[in-house]
Each structure stands twice: as structure tokens, then as C-alpha cells.
């Protein structure tokens, strides 16, 4: 573990990334303590510019709502959607990829055709359709993001499993009479973990972007203050009030950048051979 940390920290970008992410997590966790009032509460006159009142450093929006408080609560929504939808996508993608890769033959064919079916539909368009059909809510958004983002997981896992499948220790396990389920769970999957972890960190970033895009288009959960919603609502007043779209935009940028940097760091740390070659 210590070794892993050392390798991770050798990548300076990854350290910056994890610092930013820590701040975002902290803000999300502390939001209800720092801003006990709802972020929807109209607290000051509308369109208060940033840095003009100490109490509302980032100004207020078209209804006089505190932008700072909106950002803090938005962090909660973004992280929640990012994590939950990624976990859900992994739960769909890993079993499909593992089964296809391990058993091969017609099972592989069937599962991969099914996966390709999802891959050929543009993922954002599919997400819009799904959310629109099921009425925008936090559950339908998470479900839609999970449904459009599992195919790459399945393909990655299948590839990894295919290459592990022919290793001698797997053959030994088969000969020793272990069941297929046991082999997949105990022998194969643990060895595919590192690429999955790297992919997952990038998927969280993509999920956050997807949620923001949906909210921007007005397909967010109308009861949740999210960054995408803030930008979408600010779009019509961008010429009067730049700060309404600027700050949430920066928040999305930093969070997604942080997750990408972390992904790269993880890749270095989990692939020691690759990392050493880089030196």
C-alpha cells in the first residue's frame, strides 16, 4: 500500500487532482453546516454582483438566491450522481464482460452483440430520451447515465478476462474442480481490478459532465440545485450576469479535471512496469 502511494505521488498532476477532489468532497459534506438555509432561498436582491457583499461573495442569481450556497449543494448532487451511476454501470458492465470473456462461444457472441447495440446509439442522445420518458428526477438521471455508460466497462473486462482465461493458473483451477463462478470471482476478476479502477475514475468525470449537460437542457431534477442547472438557468441572462454561469462552470471544469488527473495517477500507480518505463 505504501508502495502504491509512493508511486501515485510521483505523478504531480495526480496529487493536484486528489487535492482538488478532497476540497470538493469537503465542500459537499460541509454544505448543510455552512449554509443551513436551502440554496433555493431568495436571500438578497436579484443579480447582486460578486464581491459586492461580504455575506454573498459570489453574488446572487435572477431570483436573488445565493450562488455560493448553490455551488456547495451542487457539489453534493454532482458527486452523488457521479459515484452512484458509476457503481451502477460497473454492476452491469463487469458481469456481462466477465461472462462473455470467460465462456466465449455463443454466450460471448450474444452478449457482445447486445453491448454493441448500446454502443451504436449516441450515448448522450439515448440519455436524453431515457430521462425525458421517465420524467426528470435524480433516480431517472442516475439510471440513464448508468445505462449509457456500461458498454465500455463490459468490453474492457471481456478483453482482460480473455487474456487471463488462457493462463496456466486458471487452467489449474479448472482441473482442480473449482466451479466457474468461483474461478471468475476469486481468480479472474481480482486480476482485472486495476484497469477497472482507472476506467471508473474517468467514468465518474463523464457522469458528472452528463448530469450537467442534462440539467443544462432543463432535464435535471427540478428539486435539486446542480451545477448544470445553474448554468442552464444563467444562459438567458449571460449578457447581464456573467458570474451566474462562470462560477458553476469553473466548478465543473475543476472537478472533471481533478478526476482525470487522478485517473492518470492511478494508471501509473497500478501499472508499475509502465511507470518505470516512463522514467
Partner 1 sequence: MLKRLTTLAATLLVSTALHAEPVAGGRANVVIQPEPPSLMMGLVQNGPTQMVAGNIYESLLRYDEKLQPMPQLATSWDVSEDGLTYTFHLHDDVKWHDGKPFTSADVVFSADVFLRETHTRLRASLEHVESITAPDDTTVVFKLKQPFGPFLGIFEAGTMPMIPKHIYEGTDYKNNPANNTPIGTGPFKFKEWVKGSHILLTRNEEYYEEGKPYLDEIYWHVIPDAASRAVAYETGVVDVLPGGSIENFDVQRIADMENTCVTDKGWEYFGPLSWMWLNNREGPTADKRFRQAVMYAMDRDFARDALWNGLGKVAAGPVSSSTRFFTEEVTKYDHDPEKAKALLAEMGYKGEPVRLLPLPYGETWQRWAEAVKQNLDEVGINVELVSTDVAGWNQKLAEWDYDMAFTYLYQYGDPALGVARNYVSTNIAKGSQWNNVEGYENKEIDDLFAKAAVAVTAEERQKLYTEAQQKLVDDVPVAWLLELGFPTIYRCNVKDLVTTAIGVNDGFKDAYIEK
Judged by the rule CB under 8 A, the positions of this chain that interact with partner 1 are 38, 40-42, 45-47, 62-64, 132, 135-136, 218-219, 222-223, 233, 236-237, 239-240
DSSP reduced 3-state for 21: helix
Q: Smallest distance from the beta carbon of 135 to partner 1, in angstroms?
A: 7
Classify each residue of 87-112 as buried b or exposed e, where b means 16 or more C-beta atoms within 10 Å of its C-beta: ebbbebbbbbbbbbbbeeeeebeebb
Q: Whose Cβ is closer to partner 1: residue 139's or residue 240's?
A: 240
Q: Whose Cβ is closer to partner 1: residue 20's or residue 237's?
A: 237
Q: Whose Cβ is closer to partner 1: residue 50's or residue 151's?
A: 50
Cα gap 19→258, rounded to integer Å: 8
Q: Whose Cβ is closer to partner 1: residue 46's or residue 159's?
A: 46
Q: Smallest distance from the beta carbon of 223 to partner 1, in angstroms?
A: 5
Q: Smallest distance from the beta carbon of 35 to partner 1, in angstroms?
A: 14
Q: Whose Cβ is closer to partner 1: residue 135's or residue 171's?
A: 135
Q: Smallest distance from the beta carbon of 40 to partner 1, in angstroms?
A: 5
> Do residues 200 and 90 lie in contact, with contact meaning Cβ atoms separated by under 8 Å?
yes
Q: Whose Cβ is closer to partner 1: residue 73's or residue 102's?
A: 73
Please, is 83 exposed, middle or buried when counting C-beta atoms within 10 Å of its C-beta (0-12, 13-18, 19+)? Answer: middle
Picking from 97, 150, 88, the residue whose alpha carbon sits closest to that of residue 121 is: 150
DSSP reduced 3-state for 60: strand
Q: Smallest distance from the beta carbon of 75 to partner 1, in angstroms?
A: 20
Q: Smallest distance from the beta carbon of 101 to partner 1, in angstroms?
A: 41
* Helices within the chain (DSSP H only): 2-10, 12-34, 67-103, 105-120, 123-133, 138-149, 151-165, 168-175, 180-182, 189-216, 227-234, 243-270, 272-278
Amino acid at each position: 500500500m505504501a508502495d502504491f502511494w509512493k508511486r501515485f505521488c510521483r505523478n504531480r498532476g495526480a496529487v493536484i487532482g486528489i487535492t482538488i477532489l478532497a476540497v470538493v468532497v469537503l465542500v459537499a459534506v460541509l454544505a448543510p453546516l455552512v449554509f443551513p438555509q436551502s440554496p433555493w432561498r431568495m436571500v438578497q436582491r436579484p443579480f447582486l454582483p460578486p464581491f459586492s457583499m461580504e455575506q454573498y461573495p459570489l453574488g446572487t442569481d435572477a431570483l436573488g438566491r445565493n450562488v455560493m450556497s448553490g455551488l456547495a449543494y451542487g457539489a453534493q448532487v454532482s458527486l452523488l450522481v457521479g459515484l452512484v451511476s458509476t457503481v451502477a454501470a460497473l454492476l452491469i458492465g463487469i458481469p456481462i464482460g466477465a461472462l462473455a470473456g470467460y465462456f466465449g462461444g455463443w454466450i460471448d457472441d450474444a452478449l457482445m452483440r447486445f453491448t454493441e447495440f448500446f454502443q451504436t446509439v449516441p450515448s448522450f442522445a439515448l440519455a436524453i430520451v431515457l430521462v425525458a420518458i421517465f420524467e426528470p428526477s435524480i433516480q431517472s438521471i442516475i439510471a440513464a447515465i448508468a445505462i449509457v455508460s456500461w458498454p465500455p466497462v463490459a468490453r474492457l473486462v471481456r478483453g482482460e478476462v480473455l487474456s487471463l482465461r488462457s493462463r496456466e493458473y486458471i487452467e489449474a483451477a479448472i482441473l482442480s474442480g473449482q466451479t466457474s463462478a468461483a474461478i471468475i470471482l476469486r481468480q479472474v476478476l481480482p486480476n482485472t481490478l486495476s484497469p477497472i479502477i482507472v476506467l471508473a475514475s474517468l467514468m465518474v468525470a463523464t457522469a458528472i459532465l452528463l448530469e450537467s449537460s442534462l440539467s443544462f437542457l432543463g432535464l435535471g431534477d427540478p428539486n435539486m440545485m446542480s451545477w448544470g442547472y445553474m448554468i442552464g438557468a444563467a444562459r438567458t441572462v449571460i449578457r447581464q450576469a456573467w458570474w451566474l454561469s462562470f462560477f458553476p462552470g469553473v466548478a465543473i471544469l475543476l472537478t472533471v479535471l481533478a478526476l482525470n488527473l487522478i485517473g492518470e495517477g492511478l494508471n501509473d500507480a497500478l501499472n508499475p512496469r509502465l511507470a518505470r518505463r516512463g522514467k
